[in-house]
């Protein structure tokens, strides 16, 4: 199958997930339950506003309620936490997403930690991170979950492979490393300050680029036949991988856009629906384990 799937099209993966979610949302609606994702945007950053709007549109297309909370750029940490606590107590809200980044006067970590673990559908709390480390997270961070979903959709083996993760953020590089490790990959975590990074990347059967630098991973770093997953998105529709050069060496690669991004949003929707089902003690008959092993 892999030979016909050199370009790992995330749009196909996302659509598969959303098709299954549509059935589950309809079942919830028939029982009087409207899945709801609350998104909090602090300030007026245009890129953040665009991301929130995209997530809202994706919710609406599936019949998920998108509740948008916009706060002034001068909002304090205490004010933001108060809003989050109100959403925690609202039984009609099943998922809470605080759009990153927040203005500098806000203690972002404190705000993330105030999100109830039952509504942490974006996997940003330290408790969620710890559960993910043990393979127990109901809602792992969405981009790492998307990367695993892509590998599973295209039937790319993980067990026994050497995975190189370039990036160490708490909601991307670190959790995806743990998820790969829990799937029996041997994992090396690198970052922009790693010595001899090119040589280390060249050892990878699977390379995850999550460093936040445009075209950072070069084609001559990649070993022949490697699987390359680009989790970056930078200005000009550029990922963290020098796509054209890496395409020559990789046996499979995600493009930017239409790679990891659409699946990340699909996983956010999935986690919201999961939360709605859990909060009302519903279960679904369709097995989605292949998207979240």
Same-domain pairing of 244 and 150: yes
Report the CATH number that the domain containing residue 224 is assigned in CATH. Answer: 3.40.50.720
Cβ-based neighbours of 171, under 8 Å, separated by 6 or more = 100, 122, 123, 124, 141, 143, 144
**Residue 229 is assigned to a structural domain of this protein:** yes
Instruction: Give the model's pLDDT for residue 5.
Output: 44
Same-domain pairing of 53 and 87: yes
Instruction: Give the model's pLDDT for residue 284.
Output: 57
Same-domain pairing of 104 and 168: no
**Residue 129 is assigned to a structural domain of this protein:** no
Same-domain pairing of 177 and 69: no
Same-domain pairing of 40 and 109: yes
Report the CATH number that the domain containing residue 102 is assigned in CATH. Answer: 3.40.50.10860
Please state, in angstroms and rounded to a whole number, the distance separating the CA atoms of residues 14 and 90. 29
Domain containing residue 244: 142-260
Same-domain pairing of 207 and 253: yes
Alpha helices by DSSP H, the chain: 10-30, 46-62, 77-89, 108-113, 126-133, 142-153, 173-182, 197-201, 243-249, 260-279
**Residue 85 is assigned to a structural domain of this protein:** yes
Same-domain pairing of 114 and 206: no
Q: Are 35 and 25 in contact (CB under 8 A)?
A: yes
Q: Which two tokens stand for residue 61?
A: 């297309």
Same-domain pairing of 108 and 156: no
Please state, in angstroms and rounded to a whole number, the distance separating the CA atoms of residues 267 and 138. 12
CA distances from 9 to 51, 205, 237, 281 (A): 20, 19, 16, 34
Same-domain pairing of 112 and 215: no
Q: Is 122 a catalytic residue?
A: yes
Cis peptide before 257 (omega within 30 of 0): yes
Catalytic-labelled residue, pool 9, 122, 205, 240? 122
Same-domain pairing of 116 and 147: no
Residue that terminates a domain, selected from 87, 122, 157: 122
Residue of 246, 257, 156 lying closest to 201 (CA atoms): 246
Summarised one tens digit per residue, pLDDT across range 37-59 is 999 999 988 989 999 999 999 99
Please state, in angstroms and rounded to a whole number, the distance separating the CA atoms of residues 141 and 124. 7
Please state, in angstroms and rounded to a whole number, the distance separating the CA atoms of residues 157 and 30. 39
Same-domain pairing of 179 and 233: yes
Instruction: Give the model's pLDDT for residue 84.
Output: 98
**Residue 171 is assigned to a structural domain of this protein:** yes
Instruction: Give the model's pLDDT for residue 267.
Output: 98
Same-domain pairing of 253 and 181: yes
Catalytic-labelled residue, pool 55, 161, 174, 270? 55
Please state, in angstroms and rounded to a whole number, the distance separating the CA atoms of residues 17 and 25. 12
Instruction: Give the model's pLDDT for residue 282.
Output: 74
Segments of the chain scoring below 50 in pLDDT: 1-5, 285-293
Residue that terminates a domain, selected from 62, 90, 122: 122
**Residue 105 is assigned to a structural domain of this protein:** yes
If one counts the domains in the chain, the total is 2
Q: Is 99 a catalytic residue?
A: yes
CA distances from 273 to 3, 60, 66, 92, 132 (A): 34, 13, 12, 12, 19
**Residue 41 is assigned to a structural domain of this protein:** yes
Please state, in angstroms and rounded to a whole number, the distance separating the CA atoms of residues 97 and 64. 14
Q: Is 18 a catalytic residue?
A: no
**Residue 132 is assigned to a structural domain of this protein:** no
Please state, in angstroms and rounded to a whole number, the distance separating the CA atoms of residues 230 and 134. 25
Please state, in angstroms and rounded to a whole number, the distance separating the CA atoms of residues 227 and 231. 13
**Residue 174 is assigned to a structural domain of this protein:** yes
Q: Are 98 and 77 in contact (CB under 8 A)?
A: no
Helix 142-153, helix 173-182: angle, nearest 10: 40
Its pTM surpasses 0.75: yes
Catalytic-labelled residue, pool 99, 120, 174, 240? 99
Instruction: Identify the residue whose tokens are 């930690």.
Output: 113
């Amino acid at each position: 199958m892999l030979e016909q799937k050199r370009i790992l099209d995330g749009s196909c993966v996302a659509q598969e997930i959303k098709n299954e979610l549509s059935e589950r949302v309809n079942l919830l609606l028939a029982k009087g339950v409207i899945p709801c994702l609350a998104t909090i945007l602090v300030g007026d950053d245009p890129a953040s506003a665009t991301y929130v709007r995209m997530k809202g549109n994706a919710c609406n297309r599936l019949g998920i309620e998108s509740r948008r909370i916009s706060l002034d750029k001068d909002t304090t940490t205490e004010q933001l936490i108060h809003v989050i606590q109100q959403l925690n107590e609202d039984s009609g809200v099943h998922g809470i997403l605080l759009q990153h980044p927040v203005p500098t006067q806000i203690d972002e970590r404190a705000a993330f930690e105030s999100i109830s673990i039952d509504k942490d559908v974006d996997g940003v709390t330290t408790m969620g991170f710890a559960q993910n480390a043990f393979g127990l997270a109901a809602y792992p961070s969405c981009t790492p979950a998307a990367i695993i979903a892509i590998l599973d959709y295209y039937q790319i083996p993980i067990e026994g492979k050497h995975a190189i993760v370039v990036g160490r953020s708490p909601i991307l590089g670190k959790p995806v490393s743990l998820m790969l490790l829990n799937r029996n990959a041997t994992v090396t975590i690198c970052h922009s300050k790693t010595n001899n990074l090119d040589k280390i990347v060249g050892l990878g059967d699977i390379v995850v680029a999550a460093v936040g630098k445009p075209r950072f991973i070069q084609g001559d770093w990649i070993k022949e036949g490697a699987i390359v997953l680009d989790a970056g998105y930078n200005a000009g529709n550029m990922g963290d991988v020098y796509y054209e050069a890496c395409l020559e060496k990789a046996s499979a690669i995600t493009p930017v856009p239409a790679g990891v991004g659409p699946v990340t949003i699909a996983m956010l929707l999935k986690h919201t629906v999961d939360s709605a089902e859990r909060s009302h003690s519903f279960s679904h008959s369709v097995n989605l384990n292949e998207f979240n092993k």
